[in-house]
Structure 1
């Protein structure tokens, strides 16, 4: 779930960013991403048509600085920002709520994945201890250990690929990936590693 600006909100938010200082298009896109904790990263196709409309309305002007086009708010633009200060506060509050909800959602997903991994490890450990000792030419402990090592490698690779894909997909779709989320992932993986160590020593 990424925050979506309702009709007219993005226009006002762009004006408020330009009220802080002149900016070029990429700087505005980066500012929007930063202000929303990475939950919303607009495309050039979203930003530049709105800037062109604001220019038509006389609310911003643009100047070319080398290879960059810099946009600056006009007095009329400042007047609109001031007149709609209440609306702007509402937009900022909605964005803050969205960021918090997304962070909670990601942390919950990480916790669920770690619980599932710990349960799988515990079940595997119980199954290993419950297996009857049946002597055979295939029962060489070193052979079995290598087989289980290959299996473990496959499981870890699959888990890594799944988590990496989920994270990349979320970011590509405008989702959040905050430092606290990565910290939670790191802590959960550390806990899973300790659980694996305990299972191997059991």
Structure 2
């Protein structure tokens, strides 16, 4: 997913800017990129280490092995290139912010669509239940048929919730496995939508028309 966030050659310069702040190991660089993009971009080791090796070969970066950890640091030549391309770096950071917003919006819209469909299904089910309740004779104690019907609807509700959970989990895992990004804001949107759906169910169950 590098092209979706960084244009060709931009990641190289951005790595130099990260190392100019402080020496760092590979995982720390990956984590820094994740943090800087709000969780929308987490590069793989196969993306980062070859670029670090190329920077080292160009004399822009050095590496020091400390036990099992390899620490990368920018050289004077690397700082000189970074200074020469200060304007390019500013453009990268501006474009990066725009790309992150677009990616987060795409994923958020996908989750919102799924949540909208779930809320519509819940509203339809609640409406059908109210209509059925109005046609039944008023009684303080559910009849045997009503209890059996409730158990049947409970199984139906369980199946619907489990199917939805499985579908969303599959969609999210597939998206990430294919290199997609999943922003923290999208997960928050999902949590809020699920909370709203839960409140909708509670309101339907507590409705006096039931």
Residue 29 of structure 1: aligned partner: 30
Asked if structure 2 preserves the Cα contact closer than 8 Å seen for 1:41 and 1:174, the reply is no
Matching of residue 55 in structure 1 with residue 56 in structure 2? yes
Q: CA RMSD in A?
A: 2.2
Matching of residue 152 in structure 1 with residue 157 in structure 2? yes
Matching of residue 98 in structure 1 with residue 99 in structure 2? yes
Distance 1:142 1:37 in 2: 49
How much has 1:30 moved relative to structure 2?
Answer: 1.4
What's the CA shift string for 1:64-89, capped at 9, x where partnerless?
Answer: 11111111111010000011011111
Within a 5 Å distance, the mapping from 1:1-202 to structure 2 comes to 3-130=4-131, 140-172=145-177, 173-178=179-184, 180-200=185-205, 201=207, 202=209
Asked if structure 1 preserves the Cα contact closer than 8 Å seen for 2:108 and 2:186, the reply is yes
Unpaired stretches in structure 2, ≥5 consecutive residues: 137-143
What's the CA shift string for 1:22-68, capped at 9, x where partnerless?
Answer: 11111111111111122222222221111111111111111111111
Unpaired stretches in structure 1, ≥5 consecutive residues: 134-138
What's the CA shift string for 1:128-182, capped at 9, x where partnerless?
Answer: 344576xxxxx7111111111011001111111222223333344240221x333
Normalised TM-score (structure 1)? 0.87
Deviates more, 1:111-120 or 1:67-76: 111-120
Distance 2:34 2:181 in 1: 10
> How many residues are aligned here?
197
Distance 1:13 1:175 in 2: 19
